[in-house]
Chain A
Amino acid sequence: MSTVTVTSRIGLSSPEESKAVLKVSDLVVEYHTARGIAQAVNGVTFTVHAGEKLAIVGESGCGKTATLLAALRLLPSPPSKTVRGSVEVDGTDLMTLGPKALNEIRGRDISIVFQDALSAFNPVLTVGRQISEGVRQQRKLSKAAAHELAVDMLARVGVPDPDQRAKQYPHQLSGGMRQRAMIAMALAGEPKVLFADEPTTALDVTVQAQILDLVRSFKDLAIVWVSHDLGVVAGLADRVIVMYSGFVVEEGPVEDIFHSPKHPYTAALLRSIPRTDEMSGTHELVSIPGSPPDLVALPAGCPFYDRCAVRVDRCATDRPTLERVGDTQTVACWVAQAKDIAS
C-alpha cells in the first residue's frame, strides 16, 4: 500500500511552507455493531502541508468523518475502535500519547469544527467562555484575559459586536454567527491544522459563502475539510481525497480531479452533480446505480465492483492499491492503472 504524496501546485511558494504538518498513515477504524464488526476506515493515509487545504469527499457513511474523529482520538470507544495507524502532528504521534500529553496538543496544534454548531456548543456556558476555555486551561489565563481572547477571536472571524456576543449563550446566536463562533473556538489555540467536518452543510447558501470566504482567508492554516458537496470543495481545496466505503480511492490536485477523474467512482460522482461551467449544456446528470457495500462484510475485491461500469474480472477478487496514475493523481483502480501504463 504505497502512497505517493502529491504536493499541491497551488499556494506553494517557499520551501518552508511545504513542511508536512500532519501525517496520517494506515488508519484503520472498526465499529462494533450488533451485526458484527463494521470496517469504517480502511488504511487511510494522507499528508497535509503547512497552509494547504485538503478536502475529503465521498457519500455519507464513506468513513470521512470517522477518519477525522479517529485522528483526533475522539471516537467513542466502544463501539468504535482504532485498530492501527499513526497520526503525526508536527512529528508527534497522537496515537501513542497519554491523556495529558494528548490534551496538550488537542486544541493547540490541531482542532476541529463540527457540522452542527448548535449541538456542538454546550448550551449552559457562554460562547466566550467556550471559545477561551481550552486556551485558558493550557496557558492558565485569568478570567479577564480569557474574555479578551474570546472577544479578539470573535472579531477575527467577523462577528459584529464581539464583546456582547461573547457574553451570550449559543442559543442566542444565529446559525451563521454560531458557526463563526465555533471557528473562533477552534482557532483560539492558534492551531497549525484545522479539521472541518462539513461545517457549512447546515447553513443557507449566502451564509455558506461567507464562511467559505472566511476560511479561504486563513492562508497559513492547514485545513482538512470533509464534505459531500463538491461545489464547496472546488472553490476551497488545493487537493482532494475521494473516499469510498472506508478506502481512499483517488487523490490529486483539485483541478486534475475535477477535469480528469481517473477512478470510475470519482467520475460518477462528478457526473451526479449539476455544474455551471462550460460543460453544462451537454452535461447530463447521472446518479450512481446501486448502493455502497455492507461495511460488516466488505467484498474481497474492489469495494466499488458492484456499481462499476468499467469493471474487469480481476476487480472481483483483488483489492486495488493506490498507485500513481498520470503526473499528479493516485488511484486505486486496476482499470485506470492499466490504462495509464498502456498510454
Chain B
Amino acid sequence: MGILIFALRRFLLAIPTLLGLLIVTFILANFMPGDPLARLLGDVGGSNPETVAAYRAQWGLDRPLWEQFFIYVGNLLQGDLGQSTFTRRGVMEDLLSFLPATVELGVAAILFAGIIGLALGSLAALFHNKWPDFLVRAIALLASGVPVFWLGLIALQVFYLQLGWSPGPEGRLSSRVNPPPRITGAYTVDSILSADSVAFWDSLAHIVLPAAVLGAFFLGLVSRMMRASMLDVLKAPYLMTARSKGLNTRTIAQFHVLPNALIPTITVVGLAIGGLLAGAVLTETVFSWPGIGRYAVDAAKALDYQAILGVTLLIGFVYVITNAIIDVVYAALDPRIRLGS
C-alpha cells in the first residue's frame, strides 16, 4: 500500500516539471529563426495556400502568445509536433520510429554497465586498499573523464580495425541481414520473438560495442558508488548484529549487505540517466546508430528546428519520467523513504 501511494505522489510531483518542459520548448520555438509557419510545414506544403491556411488555424499563429501555448499543448496531446523538413514526415512519427533503437541501446548500456559496475564496486569494497580496489578506482576515474565519442572511435580502431572482433560503425545490422518483423522495435528482442537466429546474432554483434562505449561513463559511476556505499555498509553496526545472531554469510550478504548498498547506488542510476541520454547522442553519431540522438544531430545540422524541438521535449520527458521511476524503486527498497520517519 505504502509504495503505491508514494508512486502516485511522486508522479504527481513530476507534472509541474513536465509542464515546465513544455514552456521551455515553446519559448525555444519562438526564439528559433525564420517563419514559424514555414518551420511547421516544411517546404512541402509551404507553397499550397490551403495547407498554409489550415496550419495557421491549427497552430493559432495569429492568436496571442499565451493562447498559442495552449494550442501547442493541445496539438501535442493529439500527437502532432509539426513537420520535419528533412525527413518530410511528421516529427512525432519520426520520433516513434527512431525511439526503439535508442531505448534498445540505452537498456543494453545500462545492463552492461550496471551488472559489471555492481560487481566491480563490490569487489573493490571487499578488497579495500588492495590491488582490485586500485584497479577499479582507476577504471572509474578514467570513465569519469573520457569523452564518449573518442572512446567510441578508439574502440572501433581496436575491436573493428585491429582485432576484427566487432562489426564496423554500420548501425544495427549488417546490410545483408534483414531486420526482424517489428514487435517491440528492439532488433535483439524481436529476432528472438520471431525465432530469427541470423538477425539475433547479427544485431547482438552490432550492439555490444556501442552499448559498452555508451555504458562506460555509467560503469564508472556505478562502480564508484557501489564501492563507497558497500564500504559504508560493511562498517555498519547492523552487520555486527547480524553476525551476532549466527546468520550465515549468504544470508548476511543477501539480506543485510546488498539491499543497503544498493539503495544509494540505485539513486545514482537516476542521476546518470541524463548523462546516458547525452551520451546516446554522441554514441549514435559514432556508430551510425539510427536512434533519437542521431536524428537530433541530423536535424540540428539540417537546421530542422521542429525536429530539434521534438527531440528536446522527448528527451526531457524521458528524463523526468525515468527519474520518477527510479525514486519509486528507491522507496520500494528503503522503508525510511516509503513510510517517512
Contact = CB atoms under 8 A, between A and B. Distances in A.
Tell me, yes or no, whether A binds B.
yes
Interface of A: 69, 72, 74, 76, 99-100, 102-108, 111-112, 114, 116, 119-125, 130, 133-134, 137-138, 169, 171-172, 182, 185-186, 189
Given A119-B236, A125-B255, A114 B241 contact: yes
A114 B240 contact: yes
A202 B316 CA distance: 48
Interface of B: 235-238, 240-249, 251, 255-256, 259-260, 263, 333-336, 339, 341
Nearest to A169: B335
23 contacts: A74-B240, A74-B243, A74-B244, A99-B248, A100-B248, A102-B246, A103-B246, A105-B246, A107-B244, A111-B244, A111-B245, A116-B237, A119-B236, A120-B237, A125-B255, A125-B259, A137-B246, A137-B251, A169-B339, A171-B336, A171-B339, A185-B241, A186-B244
Contacts of A171: 335-336, 339, 341
A72 B242 CA distance: 12
A125 B239 CA distance: 13
A276 to B, nearest CB: 34
B333 A108 contact: no
A104 B244 CA distance: 11
Given A69-B240, A120-B237, A186-B244, 11 more contacts: A74-B244, A102-B246, A103-B246, A103-B247, A122-B238, A122-B242, A123-B260, A124-B335, A130-B241, A133-B245, A182-B241
Contacts, number: 87
B237 A114 contact: yes
A103 B245 CA distance: 8
A138 B255 CA distance: 16
A103 B83 CA distance: 69
Given A74-B243, A106-B245, A107-B246, A120 B238 contact: yes
Contacts of A72: 244
B246 A124 contact: no
A102 B334 CA distance: 31
Nearest to A119: B237
Given A99-B249, A137-B251, A171-B335, A122 B244 contact: no
Nearest to B235: A76
A106 B260 contact: no
Contact of A122 (B248, B256, B333): B256
Contacts of A119: 236-238
B325 to A, nearest CB: 19
A116 B238 CA distance: 10
Nearest to B244: A112
Contacts of B235: 76
A172 B240 contact: no
B123 to A, nearest CB: 19
A122 B336 CA distance: 11
Contact of B245 (A69, A76, A134): A134
Contacts of B249: 99
A122 B247 CA distance: 13
A169 B237 CA distance: 16
Given A125-B255, A171-B335, A120 B246 contact: no
Contacts of A130: 241
